[in-house]
Amino acid sequence: MSAENGTVERVENGWAWVRADRTAGCGHCGHKGACNMIEGTDHMLVKASNNAEAGVGDNVELFLSTKTRMKSMLILYILPVVGLLVGALSGGSLSRTFGLNENFGILIFTFAGLVLAFVLVRVLGTRMDTKQELTPIVSRVIRRARSGSGSGKARIERPVSRLPDGGPCCSS
């Protein structure tokens, strides 16, 4: 299970835009510029499914399953390497089959394997996005924002017990 804490910036149609602190892993990520980083800060905005019905200003916990993280890392990092290796290793025999210079054939088939792997990464990523497998979930409200009415005390909420797919979530 992967959980991060953040503060809800805005809520719209079942979604919560959560301002989360950048984790230590972001510092080493080569794609940190591609995510919704807030300029000049160590925060990012994350669009998450608002299962806990959090409101603006609430301190919440974001959840993304370990299975989803591992699957996406395998697709993103391992699949291109496999495509590169398959293209390179099959390049020699395929170049002889097609009557190409062996070195040129290895180069062409290595590049073709890499391109095909990236196309597959794109297709699998789009499929995961369509199924909303990559979407973080607001699993629970840690502390409600203070409102103008009431006692002014923060309330601790119970976590959501089920994910949208019916699987168990982060019960404490």
pLDDT digits over 57-114, tens only? 999 998 888 888 899 889 999 999 999 999 999 999 999 999 999 999 999 999 999 9
Q: Output the pLDDT for position 135.
A: 85
Q: Output the pLDDT for position 122.
A: 95
CA dihedral 109, 113, 114, 120 (to 10 degrees): 160
**Residue 54 included in any domain:** no
Tally of structural domains, the chain:
1
Q: Of 2-11, 18-27, 137-146, where does mean pLDDT reach its minimum?
A: 18-27
The pLDDT of 31-41, averaged and rounded, is 52
Residue 103: give the domain boundaries.
69-130
Give yes or no for residue 38 having a pLDDT over 70. Answer: no
**Residue 114 included in any domain:** yes
Are residues 55 and 12 in contact, defined by beta-carbon separation less than 8 angstroms? no
**Residue 89 included in any domain:** yes
Residue 17 belongs to what H/E stretch? strand 15-21
Q: Output the pLDDT for position 160.
A: 47
Which of 94, 74, 71 is CA-nearest to residue 82? Answer: 74
**Residue 42 included in any domain:** no
**Residue 139 included in any domain:** no
Structure tokens at 31: 């794609």
**Residue 141 included in any domain:** no
Q: What is the mean pLDDT of the chain?
A: 79
pLDDT digits (tens, 9 = 90+) for 117-171: 999 999 999 998 888 888 888 988 998 887 644 444 444 444 444 455 555 454 4
**Residue 46 included in any domain:** no
**Residue 45 included in any domain:** no
Radius of gyration for the chain, computed over Cα atoms and rounded to the nearest angstrom = 22
Binned at pLDDT 50, 70 and 90, residue 20 comes out as: confident
